[in-house]
């Protein structure tokens, strides 16, 4: 495998000679490696998952557009364009990807040395830093008008998810729907509320912008002083509402338990983590957010968490076709844990909205 990796990596325009290629990270979606050379520059090297990303060429074009826009902003501010933005490495033929004999797609970018990343935001201070990272990313792209290809149709679109949901309930392919009246009611009781929110996006009342769509903290790089360098892993960049990014971060950052915690006593929303992220995010984002975006910022945490309740339960009823599972009940365990998190958010929702309003006043000197 090493010889094959070296052969493919050599198709890219890298500086120096390849000394070593080592796996990096756990690779839930893509297979990631670090390419070490005999020069100062090292590289991140990935096999893109073509089963999830059906149009890798368009995905890479999206990433280039976003990186180019950010680099222009960094350069104008006198920053370091090779550390404060991702730098894609093209093939020797000038393409952003290489397609091997097996039809697999490979891409490469410059490795940002002396950078720091974290696997979880378990303190308000780290949550604050994560919020600044996403807010800064969105702020630099707020004036980007060049359209992106929709490489994940229906992503975070609750109307699309309900169409899938209704079809799965109708088919009940593995006869699991019986005995789930309580869980199905959790979804149905909130259907109108969630659709009413999405109508605001569809009608343009909540604007569409460039969004990251995978805002966990390990997709943000920091320098050794703790300051944000840049946001990475741009495979999922799309034109959608920035509220999806905020809500997705809150779903992952604030959970005091695990996403699949089988002890529901562990699961709740940590309000201090919410406050940390919100303060960091709004410090960077109040300059471009509209009144409608600010009004629904706290709601987005409920929206994304609800969507995940629906998707885990839908996949369980459908026979576990989408998510990898460790047991027959795994998706149902996930459903219960995410629902417990959702209820905790609903119980603290008034305080969440109030804190958003207070932060907005603080950063706008109202």
Which of 189, 197, 161 shows the shortest CA–CA distance to 307? 161
Bridge partners, 66 (sequence order): none
Residues ≥6 apart with Cβ < 8 Å to 29 = 49, 52, 235
Percent of the chain's residues with pLDDT above 70: 98
- The DSSP output letter for 152 is S
* Residue 201, token pair as written in the block: 């996006």
Helix, coil or strand: residue 241: coil
- The DSSP output letter for 10 is T
The predicted structure's pLDDT at residue 234? 95
User: What is the DSSP annotation of 296-333?
Assistant: THHHHHHHHHHHHHHHHHHHHHTTS-SS--SSTTHHHH
CB 226 within 8 A of CB 256: no
Average pLDDT value for residue range 172-201:
97
* Residue 104, token pair as written in the block: 């697999």
- Cα separation values, 34 from 5, 26, 51, 119, 157, Å: 11, 13, 23, 18, 35
* Residue 84, token pair as written in the block: 């404060």
For the cut 60, the answer to whether the pLDDT of residue 366 exceeds it is no
Residues ≥6 apart with Cβ < 8 Å to 98 = 8, 11, 12, 91, 105, 106, 107
For the cut 60, the answer to whether the pLDDT of residue 309 exceeds it is yes
Alpha carbon 301 to chain centroid distance? 13
Alpha carbon 24 to chain centroid distance? 19
Number of neighbouring beta carbons within 10 Å of residue 186 = 19
Alpha carbon 206 to chain centroid distance? 19
pLDDT digits (tens, 9 = 90+) for 49-86: 888 899 999 999 999 999 999 999 999 999 999 999 99
pLDDT digits (tens, 9 = 90+) for 226-269: 899 999 999 999 999 999 999 999 999 999 999 999 999 999 99
- The DSSP output letter for 207 is P
pLDDT digits (tens, 9 = 90+) for 17-47: 999 999 987 655 788 999 999 998 999 999 9
Number of neighbouring beta carbons within 10 Å of residue 287 = 12
Alpha carbon 293 to chain centroid distance? 18
Domains and CATH numbers, the chain: 2-110 (3.30.200.20), 124-363 (3.90.1200.10)
Average pLDDT in the chain:
94
- Please count the helices (runs of H) and the strands (runs of E) in the chain: 12, 10
């Amino acid at each position: 495998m090493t010889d094959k990796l070296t052969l493919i990596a050599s198709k890219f325009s890298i500086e120096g000679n390849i000394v070593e290629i080592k796996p990096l990270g756990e690779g839930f979606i893509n297979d990631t490696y670090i390419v070490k050379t005999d020069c100062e520059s090292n590289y991140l090297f990935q096999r893109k998952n073509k089963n999830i990303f059906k149009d890798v060429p368009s995905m890479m074009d999206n990433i280039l557009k976003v990186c180019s826009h950010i680099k222009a902003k960094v350069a104008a501010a006198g920053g370091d364009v090779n550390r404060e933005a991702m730098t894609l490495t093209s093939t020797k033929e000038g393409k952003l990807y290489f397609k091997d004999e097996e039809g697999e797609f490979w891409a490469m970018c410059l490795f940002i040395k002396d950078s720091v990343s974290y696997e979880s935001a378990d303190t308000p201070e780290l949550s604050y830093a994560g919020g600044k990272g996403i807010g800064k990313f969105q702020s630099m792209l707020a004036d980007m008008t060049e359209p992106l290809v929709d490489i994940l149709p229906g992503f975070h679109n609750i109307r699309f998810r309900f169409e899938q949901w209704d079809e799965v309930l109708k088919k009940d392919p593995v006869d699991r729907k019986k005995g789930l009246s309580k869980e199905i009611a959790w979804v149905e009781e909130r259907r109108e509320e969630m659709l009413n929110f999405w109508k605001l996006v569809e009608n343009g009342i909540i604007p569409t912008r460039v969004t990251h769509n995978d805002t966990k903290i390990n997709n943000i790089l920091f320098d050794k002083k703790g300051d944000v360098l840049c946001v990475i892993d741009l495979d999922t960049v799309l034109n959608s509402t920035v509220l999806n990014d905020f809500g997705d971060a809150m779903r992952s950052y604030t959970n005091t338990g695990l996403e699949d915690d089988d002890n529901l006593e562990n699961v709740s929303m940590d309000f201090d983590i919410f406050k940390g992220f919100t303060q960091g995010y709004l410090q960077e984002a109040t300059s471009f957010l509209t009144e409608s975006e600010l009004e629904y910022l706290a709601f987005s945490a409920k929206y994304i968490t609800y969507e995940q309740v629906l998707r885990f339960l839908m996949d369980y009823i459908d026979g576990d076709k989408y998510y990898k599972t460790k047991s027959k009940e795994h998706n149902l365990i996930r459903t219960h844990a995410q629902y417990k998190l959702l209820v905790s958010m609903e119980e603290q929702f008034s305080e969440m909205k109030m804190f958003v309003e207070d932060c907005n006043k603080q950063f706008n000197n109202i």
